[in-house]
Amino acid sequence: MEHTEEAAFAQAVQRLREDRGWSQGELARRMVAAGWPSYSQMTVSRTEKLERPIRLNEALALARVFNVTLPLMISGGDGGPEALAALRDVRGQLLAANRSFKIGAESADEVLSSVRRMREDGRIPPDSPYAEWIAELEGDIYDLLDGGDGTRRVEH
């Protein structure tokens, strides 16, 4: 007798774990944190290989850990290989954008620190023709770093 739902579930566990970049040990740690104290890397391995039965409450806990629905895990529905490939591409793009943002944010923070030091040691005098322009740009940078659209102004 073929158990297609169980096989789909086991494949979903492995696919979802790998898509998140989690090791079997990491998934086990997350299951322990979700209230399954004896969940281990071996449990994950045996689950993915269909070497052990899965209880319904355990299946629900795994779905919650992955933040997906249980029907999705049982149906094997992932939108097909094309959708999965597209999602992986988007994930890669988001990771690259996040890295770029962090680099940009670090650069902006360095510039803001430099401007602050220049103001403190008098290299940017209050009556400088650039003081207002610098204050506006400084406000824009703070706003962007705080998640705004870059239009907040800081008064000095």
Closest by CA to 5, choosing from 53, 65, 68, 64, is 53
Structural domain containing residue 29? 4-75
Mean pLDDT (whole number) for 53-58: 93
Whole-angstrom distance, CA of residue 79 vs CA of residue 87: 10
What pLDDT shows up at residue 72?
84
150 occurs within a structural domain: no
Please indicate, yes or no, whether residues 41 and 104 belong to a single structural domain of this protein: no
Whole-angstrom distance, CA of residue 108 vs CA of residue 36: 44
151 occurs within a structural domain: no
- The per-residue pLDDT for range 9-28, each reduced to its tens digit, is 999 999 999 989 999 999 99
Pure H helices in 55-130? 56-66, 70-75, 80-120
Please indicate, yes or no, whether residues 10 and 60 belong to a single structural domain of this protein: yes
Average pLDDT, the chain: 84
107 phi-psi bin (left φ>0, alpha ψ -120 to 50, beta other): alpha
Query: Residue 12 belongs to a domain with what CATH number?
Result: 1.10.260.40
The model scores a pTM over 0.75? no
Residue 1 has pLDDT above 50, yes or no: no
Please indicate, yes or no, whether residues 71 and 9 belong to a single structural domain of this protein: yes
What pLDDT shows up at residue 60?
95
Mean pLDDT (whole number) for 130-142: 82
